[in-house]
Amino acid sequence: MSPIDGAEVAKHSSKNDCWIVLDSKAYDVTSFLSEHPGGAAIILKNAGSDATEEFKKYHPLSYVDDYLPKDAFLGPVDPNTFGQLRQTKDETSQKPSHTDPNAKELPHVSLCVSTPDFEAAAKAVLPHKSYIYASCSANTGASLKRNLDDWSRVTFRPRVMRNVGQVDTRRRIFGHSSPYPFYISPMGTMGAIHEGAEPEMVRGAVRKGIHSVMSTASTKSSEQIMQTYHDEQKRLGGASPTQLFYQYYMPVDHTKAVELIRLVKRCGYKGLWITVDTPVLGKRTADRYLQAEEALAVGLEEESTAEWEAGGDNAFAPAMGGRPVQGQLSPHTTWQDLEWIRKEWDGPLVLKGVQCAEDARLAMDYGCDGILLSNHGGRQLHTAPSALMTLLEIRTYCPDVLSKLEVFLDGGLLDGNDVLKALCLGATAVGVGRPFLYALGAYGSKGVERCVDVLADELQTGMSLLGITSLDQCRPDMVNTRRLLNDMWRPEEGSVRSKL
């Protein structure tokens, strides 16, 4: 295949004829524009140019082979002609950089004494686009709001005079000890938040000994992330109890789905957390505004949103209500898939995104080892229940699930005391997402460590004030859930009880 001239690539820079260069190779991505989960505009902005650096902020380069159609590859670009490629503006607004002259001053990390301080710091220094990615939620934001509100609708019933000078905050997740009953939730494309991406997050986690679940949609490859984990462990003399688990988005293509599980196993991840609340991407409102602005900026004002989202000739589009099926999210997943997944994966299996008692029961029946009650940080279904509400439903309608499975919660958790509430109600541990992401964005791994300290300090103080010295002493009668229970869904007499 003879090399292609940079000048030739530069000519193909419109929405009807769009080439880009990735890793010194030219690709015709015209047909992929409408399928790109991040919108067409970001690709069009890089049309006719070398998009490698921009691409690497979001995905490992291996994605090119995984998700671009095979016939997109045009050939290598002649290295002597790179200068003739279309030059895109190096927009500082795209760079996660604290040296951005427009950025506000970053507060000293010691000024972060509560988790919301990390959001304020990240908002001050992150590019607008990165902040929107981290903070956005579904539709009107009602699911996110409920997540945040419900933690304070449960209150404590503390006991006094209990000799609580020393407290033990340790907890095990699938047998793996952790100094605290919280872990870092999986979050995709951390490269858009910090140039060190997932490895930087992992370094912070290992130094503090907390577990972390890594996303399928990570910027860095599963192997690279695991390598960082081992390097950091080695540096610390193998002293950290941290383990990495893997969040699995089931690829649409079955062969790829199997290959991915095998890769995760080879890498040594300790558990598979299958995300089930994302058959399609929720409506990320703030992201939509940004995409529309980007589209307008590259001259896509004549395209109606509906046309772009219809996915053109995508075979699945009609069945999907006009939305394309994207490579990483599989709307076709069913409970039966757990059967082949179980054959491929013999370690702990968790369903991430369980939102009602019936599905908690089904997860148990299908042999899962754990469930994560979650509405994806309020980013998926509009007006979804908070994890706490789902936990109350499980306690009411199928409490045996709590003694048979490890049960995790996430969403809106901003205070170590809230972790305690979840544990009192039977949770094994709690996932924390955005606070760690903001901490990473503002301060790198030092911020991640600080965020652990903030939550740990609140947790320790909370335990003493609640009157307990170990997490095994957490009991349901230590919390008042009446206000939430009042809102809880109730089946018509008998109907659901018999199904559960």
Contacts with ligand FMN by CB under 6 A lie at 133-134, 147, 185-188, 215, 217, 247, 275, 352, 374, 376-377, 410-413, 431-434, 437
Say if residues 370 and 403 touch (Cβ distance below 8 Å).
no
Closest distance to ligand FMN from the beta carbon of 387 (Å): 9
376 is catalytic: yes
**182, β-bridge pairs:** 430
Residue 200 and residue 445 in contact, taking contact as beta carbons nearer than 8 Å: yes
Are 176 and 241 a contacting pair, CB within 8 Å?
A: yes
Q: Would you tell me how many other CB atoms lie within 10 Å of the CB of residue 167?
A: 17
For ligand FMN, which is the closer residue by CB, 55 or 438? 438
Closest to ligand FMN by CB, 426 or 431: 431
Q: How far is the CB of 470 from ligand FMN (least distance, A)?
A: 25
For residue 364, give the H/E element and its range. helix 357-365
Q: 85 or 437: whose CB is closer to ligand FMN?
A: 437
Q: Which residue is closest to ligand FMN by CB?
A: 433
Look up residue 492 and give its two tokens.
Answer: 């018509």
Element (H, E) at 27: strand 25-28
Q: Tell me 188's DSSP state.
A: S
State the nearest-atom distance from the C-beta of 480 to ligand FMN, in Å. Answer: 23
Residue (130 or 445) nearer to ligand FMN, CB = 130
What span, in angstroms and rounded, lies between the C-alpha atoms of 237 and 399? 42
Which run of H or E residues covers position 184? strand 182-184
Report yes or no: 168 and 474 within 8 Å, Cβ to Cβ.
no
Nearer to ligand FMN, 49 or 147 (CB): 147
CB–CB of 51/23 below 8 Å?
Answer: no
* Least CB distance to ligand FMN at residue 286 (A): 12
Q: How far apart are CA 419 and CA 222, in angstroms?
A: 29
Check residue 209 and give left, alpha or beta (phi > 0: left; psi -120 to 50: alpha).
left
In whole angstroms, the minimum distance from the beta carbon of 467 to ligand FMN comes to 27
Side chain identity at residue 228, one-letter code = T
**Cβ nearer to ligand FMN, comparing 58 with 229:** 58
The C-alpha angle with vertex 278 and arms to 272 and 284, in degrees rounded to 5, equals 130
Copy the structure tokens of residue 422.
């979840």
- Distances 406 to 182, 360, 402 between C-alpha atoms, Å: 13, 11, 7
Catalytic residue (one of 12, 194, 211, 376) = 376
CB of 376 to ligand FMN, least distance (A): 5
> Considering beta carbons, is residue 437 or 479 the nearer one to ligand FMN?
437
Q: 348: which residues sit within 8 A by CB, 6+ positions away?
A: 174, 245, 270, 271, 272, 369, 370, 406
Residues noted as catalytic: 376
